[in-house]
């Protein structure tokens, strides 16, 4: 999961932090409960929804063509891909993509555009002006609104055959701000800027073993000899956005259940609640989708000399594994999370503020995996 680049200027910040810490300790000592970092007190980028719109090479690489399946997010060269950053306002609602302005940069393979708080300075060259352009370059992909579409570049000679991703860096602007102004101020000031967000995303190439066949055809070094790759590994499905099969909400002991068909609308509820209500949200990940997306991992093993081998040789054993899926929650208005959390599995405990008045509060739940699949759904609560 990527987090927005929220770096700040460094001048005088140490003394300021000490002063703030003293004040906060005094406030906490008086019994005041601070909002968690998961509470939406300002607009925040919580996810990047990628989608392969058109296939480039290997157009038939997915055996599952059901329209109901989540979007494919794992790419091959020549694919047409759309990136949609999800930015939530303080009410937990997403900004309209058509009202956003964006610039996207590519950072190279297995690389990021930000290291610590240092931003790469060699990004502003347009990618389409580079000779022998491929995904290993650092350059400016282009501009757009909240849905940015581009063609996936070629892999480069540094292809490693394992986890191959291209780092991307997005500059997003709203409320009349321009992405170019945001970018110029980010480069000059290295600080948070109102009406701007900066987000990193890893665009994963794959499936892994199909990509190796492609790399071999280009003459790149083999990581695993093609004859050692078993058929099931070559048939590995491309990664898709993760999904839920069910979601259960318990409010003060009363249970509300939502199935996959209801969750397809991305927002469920409103669920009735009262000031001070204790709420538990339980997620059920789509086991069938995960079973269709087995990951085949090659483990090197040493075969010692014996009757069949005159000397020790290294070979590969392939193991199938299920994609790990994670969840993160953000709350808004009068909804708060019980404990500060980042990755806490598949359940969340939240509550409605005791001083809440009539209205809607929202939980935005981000589900994501380790190969670029990110999705957001909302649960509304009404007091």
pLDDT in tens, 124-163: 899 999 998 999 999 999 999 999 999 999 988 767 665 6
pLDDT in tens, 203-253: 999 898 888 888 888 888 777 888 888 888 888 889 999 999 999 999 999
The pTM of this model reads: 0.85
- Work out the end-to-end distance of the chain between its first and last CA atoms, rounded to an integer number of angstroms: 32
pLDDT of residue 70 exceeding 60, the answer is yes
Q: Which of 68-77, 105-114, 283-292, 354-363 has the highest mean pLDDT?
A: 354-363
pLDDT of residue 20 exceeding 60, the answer is no
Q: Determine which of 31-45, 142-156, 159-173, 270-284 has the lowest per-residue pLDDT on average.
A: 31-45
- Predicted confidence band of residue 115 (pLDDT cuts 50, 70, 90): confident
- What pLDDT, on a 0 to 100 scale, did the predictor assign at position 60? 78
CA pair distance 281, 250, nearest whole angstrom: 7
Nearest to 89 by CA among 198, 180, 174, 147: 174
Which residues make beta-bridge pairs with 171? 103, 198
Rounded-to-5 percentages of helix, strand, coil across the chain: 15, 40, 45
- What pLDDT, on a 0 to 100 scale, did the predictor assign at position 63? 66
- Predicted confidence band of residue 26 (pLDDT cuts 50, 70, 90): very low
CA pair distance 226, 378, nearest whole angstrom: 44
DSSP for 86-124?
Answer: EEE-TTSPBPPGGG-EEEEEEEEET--SEETTEEPS---
pLDDT of residue 343 exceeding 90, the answer is no
9 vs 295: which has the higher pLDDT:
295
Long-range contacts formed by 296-302: CB under 8 A, 24+ apart: 296/208, 296/209, 296/230, 296/232, 296/233, 296/236, 296/320, 296/321, 297/321, 298/223, 298/224, 298/229, 298/233
Token pair recorded at residue 209: 């073993």
- What pLDDT, on a 0 to 100 scale, did the predictor assign at position 199? 94
């Amino acid at each position: 999961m990527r987090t927005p680049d929220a770096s700040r200027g460094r001048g005088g910040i140490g003394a300021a932090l000490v002063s703030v810490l003293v004040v906060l300790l005094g406030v906490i000592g008086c019994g005041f409960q601070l909002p968690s970092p998961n509470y939406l007190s300002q607009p925040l980028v919580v996810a990047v929804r990628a989608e392969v719109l058109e296939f480039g090479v290997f157009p038939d690489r997915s055996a599952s063509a059901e329209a109901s399946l989540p979007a494919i997010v794992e790419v091959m060269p020549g694919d047409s891909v759309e990136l949609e950053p999800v930015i939530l306002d303080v009410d937990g609602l997403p900004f309209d993509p058509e009202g956003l302005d964006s610039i996207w940069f590519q950072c190279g393979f297995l690389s990021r555009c930000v290291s610590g708080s240092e931003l790469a300075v060699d990004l502003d060259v347009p990618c389409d002006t580079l000779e022998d352009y491929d995904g290993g370059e650092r350059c400016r992909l282009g501009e757009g609104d909240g849905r940015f579409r581009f063609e996936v570049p070629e892999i480069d000679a540094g292809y490693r055959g394992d986890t191959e991703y291209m780092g991307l860096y997005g500059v997003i602007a709203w409320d009349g701000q321009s992405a170019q102004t945001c970018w110029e101020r980010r480069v000059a000031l290295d600080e948070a800027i109102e009406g701007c967000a900066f987000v990193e995303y890893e665009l994963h190439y794959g499936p892994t073993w199909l990509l190796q066949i492609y790399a071999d055809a280009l003459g790149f070094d083999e990581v695993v000899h093609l004859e050692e790759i078993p058929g099931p590994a070559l048939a590995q499905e491309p990664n898709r956005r993760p999904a839920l099969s069910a979601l259960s909400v318990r409010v003060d002991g009363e249970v509300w259940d939502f199935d996959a068909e209801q969750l397809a609308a991305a927002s469920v509820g409103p669920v009735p609640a009262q000031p001070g209500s204790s709420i538990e949200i339980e997620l059920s990940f789509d086991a069938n989708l995960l079973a269709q997306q087995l990951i085949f991992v090659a483990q090197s093993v040493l075969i010692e000399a014996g009757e069949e081998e005159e000397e020790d040789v290294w070979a590969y054993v392939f193991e199938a594994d299920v994609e790990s899926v994670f969840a993160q929650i953000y709350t808004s208005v009068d909804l708060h999370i019980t404990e500060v959390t980042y990755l806490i599995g598949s359940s969340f405990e939240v509550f409605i503020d005791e001083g809440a008045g009539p209205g809607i509060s929202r939980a935005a739940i981000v589900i994501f995996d380790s190969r670029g699949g990110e999705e957001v759904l909302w649960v509304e609560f009404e007091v």
